């Protein structure tokens, strides 16, 4: 018997923090304009010493104003999607559940686009207008997962094949709605169709958005983390979890709202980045096991690592133009999804 200890959990997280650090350094270094490691190290040191005025202006601009915020965005988007995916997998008892596969990301996109369309008509102060998109995305995500949940039920039980099919169909229906909305309404929206359908991280936002993203992530992921041991038991089914002392209704509500919020948060700033919520939890499960006390934090770090890395590839592979980061994750994710599906059927 080797039950989980706090020490082991912290060591695992520390390992992933180190990997994330290395990936972030790589992401800062590579791009359309190469930055030498020496210059990077020097600037980081100066930043830490508070001598920001001495940072050379050309590199400084690229690092602090362009790549830095983008990497920060990638970290929160990756972590949010990955934690949402882990939660949906436990809640729906389906190892193939993921915000993108279930159509939840598309639902969030529709909500975000509707919010963008509605924003000019509502005379709100600018700080509230900035939050309108994530709120719209959250509502879109919440409504979609509720619809997919209802579609996936057969005789009162969740049927995993019906659920996945329901999600895929809902997703393609909502993608059509996105195309329709983008075709008819273009005013006040500088982000194109590819953004919402494939996702990318090239938009820069005002500072308050990053704060909202960070705080929102920690609150929602924290709420999910309080149910970590309950989620472990839910893997065996709701009835069994209830007999072991899980307040199934409460857990379902908390995780459902928080995971929809995380999806909405990620989608409102980056569009629908596919498969992150599917691949990362599976890889982490293979490495660290399926205890949610470990899985949730390691999946958050893993998601951050994966998206920062995928975005670096998206930025550099055909530089100076860039491809949508969602295309990179889908190229890796779709074959893996098929592999997991086949292994489960076998």
Partner 1 sequence: MSSSSAFARNPSDASRSNSEARLSVEQVSYAYSANPAQAPLFTLEATSFQAKPGEIVAILGPNASGKSTLLKLIAGALAPMSGRILLNGFVTHSLTPRTRAQRIAVVQQESTLLFPARAWEFVLQGRHAHGRSLRFESEDDVLIAKNALAQVGAAELSDRWMDQISGGEKQRVILARALAQQPLLLLLDEPTLHLDIAAQVGLLDSLRRLAAANRYTVVVVTHELNLAAEYSDQVVLMQRGRCLRVGPPSSIYQRELLEQVFQTPLSVELGASGRPRVTVLSATQP
Residue from 193, 228, 323, 334 touching partner 1 (CB under 8 A): that is 228
Applying CB under 8 A, the span of 71-79, 182-190, 244-252, 271-279 interacting with partner 1 comes to: 244-252
What number of other Cβ atoms are within 10 A of residue 64's Cβ? 15
Q: How far is the CB of 191 from partner 1 (least distance, A)?
A: 37
# chain residues binding partner 1, by CB under 8 A:
35
Please tell me whether residue 13 binds partner 1 under the rule CB under 8 A: no
Please tell me whether residue 229 binds partner 1 under the rule CB under 8 A: yes
Please tell me whether residue 239 binds partner 1 under the rule CB under 8 A: yes
What span, in angstroms and rounded, lies between the C-alpha atoms of 226 and 95? 21
Looking at residues 274 to 313 of the shown chain, list those that interact with partner 1 (rule: CB under 8 A).
Answer: 285, 290-291, 293
Please tell me whether residue 85 binds partner 1 under the rule CB under 8 A: no
Nearer to partner 1, 5 or 184 (CB): 5
Please tell me whether residue 252 binds partner 1 under the rule CB under 8 A: no
Residue from 68, 69, 214, 237 touching partner 1 (CB under 8 A): that is 237
Please tell me whether residue 233 binds partner 1 under the rule CB under 8 A: yes
Please tell me whether residue 3 binds partner 1 under the rule CB under 8 A: yes
Please tell me whether residue 153 binds partner 1 under the rule CB under 8 A: no
Nearer to partner 1, 46 or 293 (CB): 293
Residue from 61, 180, 236, 253 touching partner 1 (CB under 8 A): that is 236
Please tell me whether residue 318 binds partner 1 under the rule CB under 8 A: no
Please tell me whether residue 5 binds partner 1 under the rule CB under 8 A: yes
Please tell me whether residue 67 binds partner 1 under the rule CB under 8 A: no
Please tell me whether residue 205 binds partner 1 under the rule CB under 8 A: no
Please tell me whether residue 243 binds partner 1 under the rule CB under 8 A: yes
Length of the chain equals 346
Neighbouring residues of 75: CB distance < 8 A, sequence distance ≥ 6: 20, 24, 304, 307, 308
Please tell me whether residue 95 binds partner 1 under the rule CB under 8 A: yes
Over the chain, what HEC string results? CCCCCHHHHHHHHHHHHHHHHHHHHHHHHCCCCCCCHHHHHHHHHHHHCCCHHHCCHHHHHHHHHHHHHHHHHHHHHHHHHHHHHHHHHHHCCCCCCCCCCCCHHHHHHHHHHHHHHHHHHCCCCHHHHHHHHHHHHHHHHHHHHHHHHHHCEECCEECHHHHHHHHHHHHHHHHHHHHHHHHHCCCCCCCCHHHHHHCCCCCCCCHHHHHHHHHHHHHHHHHHHCCHHHHHHHCCCHHHHHHCCCCHHHHHHHHHHHHHHHHHHHHHHHCCCCCHHHHHHHHHHHHHCCCHHHHHHHHHHHHHHHHHHHHHHHHHCCCCCCCCHHHHHHHHHHHHHHHHHHHHHC
Half-sphere exposure for 22 (CA within 13 Å, toward CB) = 7
Q: How far is the CB of 223 from partner 1 (least distance, A)?
A: 12
Nearer to partner 1, 223 or 257 (CB): 223
Handedness of CA 277, 282, 283, 288 (dihedral sign): positive
Applying CB under 8 A, the span of 86-94, 101-109, 126-134, 309-317 interacting with partner 1 comes to: 86-94
Looking at residues 208 to 227 of the shown chain, list those that interact with partner 1 (rule: CB under 8 A).
Answer: 225-227
Residue from 29, 46, 93, 191 touching partner 1 (CB under 8 A): that is 93
Task: List the structure tokens of 201.
Answer: 């991280």
Residue from 6, 49, 150, 346 touching partner 1 (CB under 8 A): that is 6
Find the radius of gyration of the CA atoms of the chain: 20
Please tell me whether residue 154 binds partner 1 under the rule CB under 8 A: no
Please tell me whether residue 232 binds partner 1 under the rule CB under 8 A: yes
User: Can you give the binding site for partner 1, defined by CB under 8 A?
Assistant: 1-6, 89-90, 93-95, 225-230, 232-233, 235-237, 239-240, 242-248, 285, 290-291, 293
């Amino acid at each position: 018997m080797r039950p989980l200890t706090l020490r082991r959990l912290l060591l695992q997280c520390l390992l992933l923090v180190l990997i994330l650090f290395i990936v972030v350094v790589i992401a800062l270094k590579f791009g359309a304009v190469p930055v030498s490691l020496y210059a990077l190290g020097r600037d980081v040191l100066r930043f830490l010493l508070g001598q920001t005025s001495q940072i050379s202006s050309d590199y400084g601009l690229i690092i602090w104003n362009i790549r830095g915020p983008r990497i920060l965005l990638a970290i929160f988007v990756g972590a949010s999607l990955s934690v949402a995916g882990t939660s949906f997998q436990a809640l729906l008892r389906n190892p193939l559940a993921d915000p993108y596969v279930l159509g939840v990301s598309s639902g969030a996109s529709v909500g975000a686009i509707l919010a963008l369309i509605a924003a000019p008509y509502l005379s709100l102060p600018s700080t509230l207008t900035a939050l309108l998109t994530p709120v719209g995305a959250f509502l879109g995500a919440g409504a979609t997962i509720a619809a997919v949940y209802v579609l996936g039920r057969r005789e009162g039980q969740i049927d995993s094949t019906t659920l996945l099919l329901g999600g895929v169909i809902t997703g393609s229906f909502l993608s059509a709605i996105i195309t329709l909305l983008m075709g008819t309404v273009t005013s006040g929206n500088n982000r194109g169709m590819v953004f919402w359908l494939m996702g990318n991280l090239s938009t820069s936002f005002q500072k308050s958005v990053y704060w909202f993203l960070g705080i929102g992530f920690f609150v929602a992921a924290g709420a999910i983390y309080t149910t970590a041991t309950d989620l472990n038991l839910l893997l065996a089914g709701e009835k069994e979890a209830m007999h072991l002392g899980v307040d199934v209704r409460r857990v379902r509500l908390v995780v459902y709202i928080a995971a929809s919020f995380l999806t909405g948060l990620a989608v409102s700033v980056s569009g629908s980045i596919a498969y992150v919520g599917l691949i990362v939890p599976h890889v982490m499960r293979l490495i660290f096991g399926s205890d949610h006390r470990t899985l949730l934090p390691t999946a958050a770090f893993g998601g951050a690592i994966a998206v920062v890395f995928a975005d670096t590839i998206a930025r550099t592979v055909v530089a100076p133009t860039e491809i949508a980061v969602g295309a990179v994750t889908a190229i890796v994710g779709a074959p893996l999804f098929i592999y997991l599906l086949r292994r489960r059927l076998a």
